[in-house]
């Protein structure tokens, strides 16, 4: 199956538009951070251009790449994290969106090399347990992608704190990956504040399982035939 130009254009529009949420939720500053989305029906993905300010992002300046990270279409250089995104898409076929931020509280946990423990129900709902730490890796090649895949494979979390770097999230859809980035920062902030007040209370594993199952399978509105 080959993606039509209409499909590619739709992903370009979604990737450009959803960057607005990173700004809205204070997850990025200046030109840092990026979003990418897989193109359905093709070995392609769309990613933010490197060093372009968020106010200047448009569907037209999003970069189309193949799953080796080679630019197929685009007038700008792609994000410096393109190789990492490409590695994720090649090795996690269930992933359709990848987000990277340096959001303040989550990145502070990453700087400590410390996983965010599951001590609030919202984290159990969204991530099914702790948000883990991935290894330190240099930007620009597949090393970060290898760390993301190695850490999140078999893990319920859709977020990983890459040590000394920042946050990467994955999702079954582009919007799902963005939501994970928003929620990761929220639980990082709340848990940090709680620890300033004293010891936090872990949620028992069986309760985490029950909360995760309810949120993933019962919560919200379901599609009707």
Residue 213 known to be catalytic: no
Residue 215 known to be catalytic: no
> Which one-letter DSSP state was computed for residue 33?
-
Q: Which run of H or of E encompasses 202?
A: none
Q: Are 105 and 27 in contact (CB under 8 A)?
A: no
Annotated catalytic residue within 68, 141, 213, 219: 219
> Which one-letter DSSP state was computed for residue 55?
G
Annotated catalytic residue within 125, 141, 176, 223: 125
Q: What is the CA radius of gyration of the chain?
A: 17
Other Cβ atoms closer than 10 A to 130:
21
Alpha helix segments (H runs only) across 76-173: 82-91, 104-112, 121-127, 143-152
Q: Is 167 helix (H, G, I), strand (E, B) or coil?
A: strand
Active site (catalytic) residues = 125, 219
């Amino acid at each position: 199956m080959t993606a039509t130009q209409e499909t590619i254009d739709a992903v370009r529009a979604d990737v450009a538009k959803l960057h607005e949420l990173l700004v809205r939720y204070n997850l990025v500053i200046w030109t840092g951070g990026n979003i990418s989305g897989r193109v359905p029906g093709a070995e392609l993905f769309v990613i933010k251009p490197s060093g372009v300010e968020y106010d200047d992002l448009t569907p037209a300046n999003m970069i189309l790449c193949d799953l080796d990270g080679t630019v197929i279409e685009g007038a700008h250089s792609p994000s410096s994290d393109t190789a990492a995104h490409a590695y994720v898409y090649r090795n996690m076929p269930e992933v359709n969106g990848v987000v990277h931020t340096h959001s303040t509280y989550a990145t502070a946990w990453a700087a400590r090399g410390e996983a965010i423990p599951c001590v609030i129900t919202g984290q159990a709902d969204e991530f099914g347990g702790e948000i883990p730490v991935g290894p330190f890796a240099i930007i620009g090649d597949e090393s970060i992608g290898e760390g993301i895949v190695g850490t999140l494979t078999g893990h319920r979390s859709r977020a990983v704190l890459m040590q000394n770097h920042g946050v990467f999230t994955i999702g079954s859809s582009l919007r799902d990956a963005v939501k994970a980035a928003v929620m990761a920062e929220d639980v990082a902030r709340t848990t940090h504040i709680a620890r300033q007040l004293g010891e936090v209370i872990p949620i028992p594993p069986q309760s985490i399982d029950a909360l995760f199952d309810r949120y993933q399978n019962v919560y919200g509105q379901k599609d009707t035939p």
